């Protein structure tokens, strides 16, 4: 039996990782979000061995609007550094600033289908 492709979602804080993971799983994709930006290694995401890697990004101003944070632009830049390897290897990069949660899920769902990845018939838990 063929394994269901694993879609891994990484990105800066408040870029929509959990929202996208939840939405894709609700559609039947095997999706997992990973807080790579908080990792001690720039390549930790590789341990998950994803079949498809999505990197989400948004501007620092968007992070502040979406989430109460106690850190500044320097830490935001550090997050970009931690995500450099993921950015270089991402199958899809999405700037999420202008998306509502529903629009983000719909956009990525469409992109996945365009690239030949379809949800499973059963919705994953």
Mind listing the pLDDT tens digit of every residue in the chain (125 residues)?
A: 457 899 999 999 999 999 999 999 999 999 999 887 777 788 888 998 999 999 999 999 999 999 999 999 999 999 999 999 999 999 999 999 999 999 999 999 999 999 999 998 755 55
What pLDDT shows up at residue 39? Answer: 76
Domains and CATH numbers, the chain: 6-114 (3.40.50.300)
What pLDDT shows up at residue 1? Answer: 40
* Alpha helices (H) along 1-125: 17-27, 60-66, 73-82, 84-89, 101-114
SS3 5: coil
What pLDDT shows up at residue 125? Answer: 58
What pLDDT shows up at residue 91? Answer: 98
Which H or E run contains 94? strand 92-95
What pLDDT shows up at residue 87? Answer: 95
What pLDDT shows up at residue 124? Answer: 53
């Amino acid at each position: 039996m063929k394994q269901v492709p694993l879609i891994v979602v990484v990105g800066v804080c408040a870029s929509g990782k959990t929202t996208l993971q939840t939405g894709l799983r609700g559609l039947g994709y095997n999706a997992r979000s990973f807080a790579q930006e908080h990792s001690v290694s720039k390549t930790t995401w590789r341990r998950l061995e994803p079949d498809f890697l999505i990197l989400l990004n948004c501007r620092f101003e968007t992070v502040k609007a979406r989430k109460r944070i106690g850190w500044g632009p320097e830490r935001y830049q550090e997050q970009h550094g931690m995500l450099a390897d993921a950015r270089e290897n991402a199958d899809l990069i999405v700037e999420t600033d202008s998306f509502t949660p529903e629009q983000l899920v719909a956009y990525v769902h469409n992109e996945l289908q365009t690239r030949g990845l379809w949800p499973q018939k059963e919705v994953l838990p």
